[in-house]
């Protein structure tokens, strides 16, 4: 009797496993993170702001920043110092418009919980950050001799150029090094599209 009961349980488990696999691979139901959603997904995600449109296709790698229970969004890796929950890259799978969720290869996210969406780029952000930091640092450093020149009523433009170049480089180079480190830690994204009122909206159609 116990042996027969064990066989019955094994048979039921086998039937359940096969059924789950068939449903998961069919166009009926997908099982992910203990959540059921329709497999009839919209394969493109369109973001709209005024007359600008961004199209994300199935298979594109994206970062999605989403709100937690306290309505605070997680952050992009390398965006700040300290301990925080970082968004992770994943491939876009589709939109379930019926239940209003965005589906990725690893997760599902309610559309109402999305703070921003970023598309990964083939371009590295390392030199972009370094260049921006150098430019800002150079300008900040050059302001010091320029301020002195104007306040003292200087009449030697060549001296101003030399001092501005020296102080600008003195501040700009360390700033560029910091930018290199920041860009190395930051994900390769060129733009972050904030979703919300007066910002980008997800087109549901």
Higher pLDDT, 74 or 47: 47
Q: Model pTM?
A: 0.58
Residues 39 and 117 in one domain: yes
204 close to 91: Cβ distance less than 8 angstroms: no
Residues 100 and 190 in one domain: yes
Per-residue pLDDT at 30 exceeds 50:
no
Q: Do residues 194 and 151 share a domain?
A: no
Count the domains in the chain.
Answer: 3
Question: Does one domain contain both 41 and 108?
Answer: yes
Q: Given a cut of 70, is residue 22 above it in pLDDT? A: no
Q: Give residue 83's pLDDT.
A: 46
100's CB contacts (< 8 A; 6+ apart) are 110, 111, 112, 204
Give yes or no: residues 18 and 66 share one domain.
no
> Is 118 found in the same domain as 195?
yes
pLDDT for 14 equals 52
């Amino acid at each position: 009797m116990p042996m027969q009961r064990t066989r019955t349980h094994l048979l039921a488990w086998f039937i359940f496993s096969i059924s789950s696999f068939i449903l998961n691979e069919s166009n009926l139901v997908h099982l992910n993170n203990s959540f059921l959603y329709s497999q009839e997904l919209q394969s493109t995600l369109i973001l709209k702001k005024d007359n600008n449109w961004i199209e994300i296709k199935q298979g594109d790698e994206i970062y999605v920043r989403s709100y937690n229970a306290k309505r605070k969004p997680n952050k992009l890796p390398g965006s700040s110092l300290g301990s925080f929950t970082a968004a992770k890259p994943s491939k876009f799978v589709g939109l379930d418009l019926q239940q209003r969720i965005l589906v990725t290869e690893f997760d599902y996210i309610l559309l109402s919980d999305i703070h921003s969406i970023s598309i990964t780029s083939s371009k590295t952000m390392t030199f972009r950050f370094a260049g921006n930091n150098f430019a800002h640092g150079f300008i900040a450093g050059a302001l010091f001799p320029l301020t002195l020149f104007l306040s003292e009523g200087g009449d030697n433009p060549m001296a101003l150029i030399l001092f501005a170049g020296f102080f600008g480089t003195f501040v700009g180079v360390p700033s560029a090094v910091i930018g290199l480190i920041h860009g190395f830690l930051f994900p390769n994204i060129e733009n972050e599209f904030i979703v919300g009122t007066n910002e980008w909206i997800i087109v549901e159609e």
